Amino acid sequence: MPDLNEIFVPEADYPAEMKDRVMPYIGARRSDGYFAGYDGNPIHYVRYASEAPKATVIISHGFTESAEKWHETAYYLLNFGYDVYIIEHRGHALSYRSVADKTLTHIDRFDEYVRDFALFVDLVRAERQTDLYLLAHSMGCAIGLLYLESRPEAFKKVFLSSPMIMPSTGGIPAWCGRFITRAAIIFGKGKKRAFVSGVYPGDEKFEDSAKTSRARFDEYNAIKRSNPDYQNYSCTYGWVNNSLRVCKKILKKGEPEKIAAKVFIAIAGLDATVERKPQLALARRLRACEHKIYEGAKHEIYGSADPVAKEYFADLLSFFEG
């Protein structure tokens, strides 16, 4: 088994290390594909093939993300002997979009994500005869959890990174947010940019980001700037309304208790994107769950400065290896 310390990508040499070491390694093992979503529309995914896979990790990304944000993570997983599959959820990156503005992220019903994800898991299971592990972040956790509550034994292990059980509402009561966004939908503005959401600036500011590593922020910011397909930034009223209603679905009586997998919940100590209490409530109700708070980390813990990032990736790999 490799030593994370030997393959870790340090901030000091991050651009060069990503260009010269990480991207050639994962690029040689990458293939892209599409599958038909629940309604027949194309959903894009990326596959990274390990030489002798011990298990397969499915990555369910967060709001406004893409497969391109997970290069460093895929590099570590491949080195440790895991196949990696990354779905790009509808409305994101190269997958089907129901709105023309590529900076907007929209969904009519959150279940659309879940139904697509179910088909994706079936695709991966048909291609890989190994145990399935789930690595999910934020919105991707909500999708994965809702899927697992209907298919409790689909994954052997589940790593939830800053799970979006309830988005942060900035002091606005959740019921008020649901009321406002529902009213917008009724008046035909469901696919319009929500009032709480800004316009893509073209060059995002590190200080406003959910990362604490400038090097890790710069890497994906450059990818976004160079390609409109990766410039998801804002949410619609429809997306906000659906996301605010997810909490009740996930924490519905008897639902989390169904999940058979071993679960690890990584909680960001400085998270201003999702609420902490629902994450802890979920941890208490799952059959086999441990959780850890990463002090000093913002929402994207994997984008933290080196000390926290190394701790996070070590915990991820140790959990999957254990």
Looking at residue 285, its amino acid is R
Q: What is the pLDDT of residues 79-120, one digit of tens each?
A: 999 999 999 999 999 999 999 999 999 999 999 999 999 999
CATH topology of domain 4-321: Rossmann fold (3.40.50)
Q: What is the DSSP string of 229-254?
A: GG---EEBHHHHHHHHTHHHHHTSTT
Evaluate whether 239 touches 285 at the Cβ level (below 8 Å). Answer: no
Evaluate whether 75 touches 25 at the Cβ level (below 8 Å). Answer: yes
Helices (H), 128-275: 139-150, 174-186, 214-226, 237-244, 246-250
Give pLDDT < 70 ranges for the chain.
none
What's the confidence (pLDDT) of residue 221?
Answer: 97
Strands 42-48 vs 82-87: parallel, antiparallel or unpaired:
antiparallel
3-state secondary structure at position 48: strand
Residue 71 sits at φ, ψ, to 5 deg, of: -60, -50
Q: What angle do CA 2, 124, 224 make, to 5 degrees?
A: 75
Evaluate whether 142 touches 303 at the Cβ level (below 8 Å). Answer: no
- Residue in the block written with tokens 């604490």: 212
Beta strands in the chain (DSSP E): 30-36, 42-48, 55-60, 82-87, 104-105, 132-137, 157-161, 234-235, 262-268, 288-294
Task: Please list, in sequence order, all residues whose beta carbon lies within 8 angstroms of the beta carbon of residue 182, skipping any fewer than 6 positions away.
Answer: 241
Question: Residue 84's beta-bridge partner residues?
Answer: 48, 57
202: phi > 0 → left, psi -120 to 50 → alpha, else beta; which? Answer: left
- Going from the C-alpha of 92 to that of each of 44, 67, 234, the distances in angstroms are 9, 10, 11
What's the confidence (pLDDT) of residue 198?
Answer: 83
How far apart are alpha carbons 146 and 18 in whole angstroms? 34
Question: Residue 291's beta-bridge partner residues?
Answer: 265
Evaluate whether 120 touches 45 at the Cβ level (below 8 Å). Answer: yes
What's the confidence (pLDDT) of residue 7?
Answer: 98
What's the confidence (pLDDT) of residue 240?
Answer: 95
3-state secondary structure at position 14: helix
Q: What is the pLDDT of residues 259-292, one digit of tens each?
A: 999 999 999 999 999 999 999 999 999 999 999 9
